[in-house]
């Protein structure tokens, strides 16, 4: 990351029907050395849709299964329909199901096992999916 982006605070929305996951993820996010992360939590897709419509969310971590929906194939499109254009990552204790192979078809940017999330992974995700990929100096500036 460049020095201008080092101090940016990232607003990550966790959508999970288990409040304990919020506590666990919050602890894991504290180990992300290259980012300051404000983790917000909602327990259902309706709350998530309302929150992304309000704006100010940089990225969404979406639990694969939320009651009463079956899985991300029903919930992720609802976030996209609500106008969210930022990265959506599916988090699950098991991402081995064949239907996970189709995650991009449903507006999802990445998938990750809950046991794989740590500070290093969070730093990578933020760099990969939320950073401005353009350099601060553009070759056109020198024409």
Count of C-beta atoms within a 10 Å radius of residue 91: 24
Question: Given this model, what pLDDT does residue 105 score?
Answer: 95
Helix (H) or strand (E) holding 121: helix 119-129
For the chain, which residues score pLDDT lower than 70? 1-7, 130-143
Question: Given this model, what pLDDT does residue 82 score?
Answer: 97
The domains found in the chain, sorted by start residue, are: 3-130 (3.40.50.2300)
Question: Given this model, what pLDDT does residue 127 score?
Answer: 84
Question: Given this model, what pLDDT does residue 131 score?
Answer: 59
Question: Given this model, what pLDDT does residue 134 score?
Answer: 46
Question: Given this model, what pLDDT does residue 1 score?
Answer: 40
Select from 121, 91, 96 the least CA-distant residue to 108. Answer: 91
- Reported pTM: 0.83
């Amino acid at each position: 990351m460049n020095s201008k982006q080092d101090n940016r605070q990232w607003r990550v929305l966790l959508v999970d029907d288990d409040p304990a996951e919020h506590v666990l993820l919050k602890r894991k996010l504290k180990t992300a050395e290259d980012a300051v992360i404000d983790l917000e939590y909602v327990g259902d897709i309706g709350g998530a849709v309302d929150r992304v419509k309000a704006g100010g969310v940089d990225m969404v971590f979406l639990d694969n299964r939320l009651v009463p929906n079956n899985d991300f194939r029903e919930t992720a499109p609802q976030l996209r329909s609500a106008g969210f254009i930022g990265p959506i990552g599916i988090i699950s204790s098991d991402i081995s199901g064949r239907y996970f192979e189709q995650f991009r078809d449903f507006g999802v940017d990445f998938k990750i096992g809950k046991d794989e999330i740590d500070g290093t992974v969070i730093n990578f995700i933020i760099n990969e999916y939320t950073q401005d990929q353009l350099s601060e100096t553009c070759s056109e500036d020198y024409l």
